[in-house]
Amino acid sequence: MRHLTARPPMPGYLRLRFVTTRNNWLSNLIRWQTQGTVSHVESILPDGSIIGAYLDGVKQVPGNTDFGYTSQTFVDVLAPQESVDKWVAYLKSRCGRKYDFLAILGFVLHMNIRTPGAFICSMDATLALRASGTFKRPLSEQAHRVSPRDLLFALSAHPAAIVGQIESL
């Protein structure tokens, strides 16, 4: 059995974990459509817990929850404490929202469709980064059209972000 624990961010940082699951049809579909190496993103809070949008909705889970991921990479973003607090508050305020299956269908069909009030993982993470002030301006795409690959790419160019190596699990 694998031991998987999401390490909490260092003080003064926001931490995101980008992952993929090789033997999962939805993960494979997202990676195929986006031509990326990641299919999901989660936010790791200072207490080590995780908030993400999963098939059963946006929720907070313990940092050692194992969803069967086969690879992961961490991104740490330097941020003042006020930004960290805004990021955490935004993420917690989205818990309980539904998962947006239509937005995923929109990725696959190249259509701009979504369910109002529902979230996908990268939308949740993107909007939390906007709420924290990490992204000073809106991105060029609507948040429900930002894939995990897109967000990882945007963060890789952010001057305050440190992108870790991809780890096989």
- Give the chain's domain count: 1
pLDDT tens-digit series, residues 42-90: 999 999 999 999 999 999 999 988 888 888 999 999 999 999 999 999 9
Does the residue 23 lie in any domain? yes
**Per-residue pLDDT at 40:** 93
| Domain interval for residue 164 | 13-168
Alpha helices in the chain (DSSP H): 25-34, 81-94, 101-109, 121-132, 148-156
**Per-residue pLDDT at 2:** 46
Rounded-to-integer distance, Cα 132 and Cα 1, Å = 36
**Per-residue pLDDT at 47:** 96
Does the residue 130 lie in any domain? yes
- Measuring CA to CA, which residue among 39, 43, 3 is closest to residue 22? 39
**Per-residue pLDDT at 121:** 95
Does the residue 107 lie in any domain? yes
Does the residue 4 lie in any domain? no
Instruction: State both tokens at 35.
Output: 């031509």
- Measuring CA to CA, which residue among 154, 112, 107 is closest to residue 129? 154
Rounded-to-integer distance, Cα 43 and Cα 13, Å = 12
Q: What long-range pairs does 112-115 form, CB within 8 A, spacing at least 24?
A: 112/142, 112/145, 114/144
| CA distances in angstroms from 29 to 26, 34, 46, 119, 144, listed in the order given | 5, 9, 31, 18, 17
DSSP state of 37: S
**Per-residue pLDDT at 4:** 61
**Per-residue pLDDT at 139:** 87
Enumerate residue ranges in the chain where pLDDT < 70: 1-5
**Per-residue pLDDT at 50:** 96
- Residue 158 is part of a domain; what is its CATH number? 3.90.1720.10
Rounded-to-integer distance, Cα 125 and Cα 51, Å = 9
Does the residue 49 lie in any domain? yes
**Per-residue pLDDT at 12:** 95
- DSSP-assigned letters across all residues of 112-156: ----TT-B-HHHHHHHHHHHHTSSSS--SS-GGG--HHHHHHHHH
